[in-house]
Homo-oligomer: A and B are copies of this chain.
């Protein structure tokens, strides 16, 4: 599958996910309106819907109907959005812009942005639970999704990565083994939820443990490639085009180019992509979109 085809597939799923998100989020007029406005502001800020796409596609290649994983696909995007809203806060990365728009706390105030994030995180779990109402999805599968995603998003996963990132920005890890800290952060901060998105789709479709393991490896490796590519883009990319400040560098954070240099970072990303594609061999031709996606990750910065 070439890049144009991949982008078309991504776009088509993105439209369906956006329509579903619009339905599963409380309306702006529903009281309390202020928090529902804040929640929707950040969910509909033009994301690529990568995590829903991974969840739906994993369900499909494990033999399920992708649509039956839609509530969970929405939940993953909602959960991802909460993490962005909280990451942007003054006490964290202190970003004023995200994708070219003012960040949530710039528009709604800091307290409301904290609450909007809390509400999004909470709503995500409600959506995962409600996935059990979809015909053909057992409660056992839905509850396993809640467990898998909570583990990936919590202190041992995404939030844990963010905590170490925050501590390392404060210089708490100065003098420590930087490469190890970097690895710890990125496996968790981005990788854990990407891996869980694939696993959630596989679980909902009744995937075998062999299929789940293969998708886990794929998820870990594209998560890594994705993070390296992001770090690289932050240095070489056109910041205006990406719509965010190059704040990672400004804050003196650990990044792949800072630890390994630009060329070695690119080599590592390429290696991760190769490993990700290897893991898909189990699925044969059915996995061609996921395979094309892996390639696309490192081609963005060319």
A: residues with CB less than 8 A from B are: 26, 30-32, 34-36, 39, 82, 86, 89, 91-92, 109-112, 114-115, 117-119, 121-123, 125-126, 128-130, 132, 138-140, 142-144, 146-147, 150-151, 153-156, 159-160, 162-164, 166-167, 170, 172, 184
Specify which of B114, B123, B139, B166 is in contact with A112 (CB 8 Å cutoff): B166
User: B143 to A114, Cβ gap below 8 A?
Assistant: no
CB distance from A2 to the nearest CB of B (A): 39
Report chain B residues within 8 Å CB of A117: 118
Contact of A126 among B26, B114, B154, B166 (CB under 8 A): B154
State in angstroms the CA–CA spacing of A215 and B4 once bound together. 57
| Contact of A39 with B155 at beta-carbon distance under 8 Å, contacts A160-B119, A166-B115 already known | yes
Q: Indicate if the CB atoms of B32 and A163 lie closer than 8 Å.
A: yes
The distance in angstroms between the C-alpha atoms of A164 and B32, with both chains bound, is 7
Q: Cβ of A122 and Cβ of B154 under 8 Å apart?
A: yes
A86-B114, A126-B146, A184-B31 are contacts. A119–B155 as well, Cβ < 8 Å?
Answer: yes
| Choice from B119, B140, B142 contacting A159 with Cβ under 8 Å | B119
Inter-subunit contact A150/B132 (CB<8 Å):
no
Q: Which of B31, B112, B139, B155 contacts A143 (CB 8 A)?
A: B139
CB nearest to A152 among chain B residues = B122
| CB of A151, distance to nearest CB on chain B (Å) | 6
Q: Are A122 and B150 in contact (CB under 8 A)?
A: yes
* Apart from A118-B121, A139-B142: 10 A-B pairs, beta carbons within 8 A: A30-B156, A31-B160, A34-B167, A35-B160, A89-B111, A91-B110, A91-B111, A115-B166, A125-B146, A143-B143
Kindly state the separation between the CA atoms of A89 and B166 in the bound complex, as whole angstroms. 17
Q: List 29 A-B contacts (CB under 8 A).
A: A26-B155, A26-B156, A31-B164, A31-B184, A32-B167, A82-B118, A86-B118, A89-B111, A89-B114, A91-B111, A109-B170, A111-B166, A112-B167, A115-B163, A118-B118, A118-B159, A119-B159, A119-B163, A122-B150, A123-B154, A123-B155, A125-B146, A126-B146, A126-B147, A126-B150, A129-B147, A132-B140, A132-B143, A139-B143
- Specify the chain B residue showing the minimal Cβ separation from A79: B122
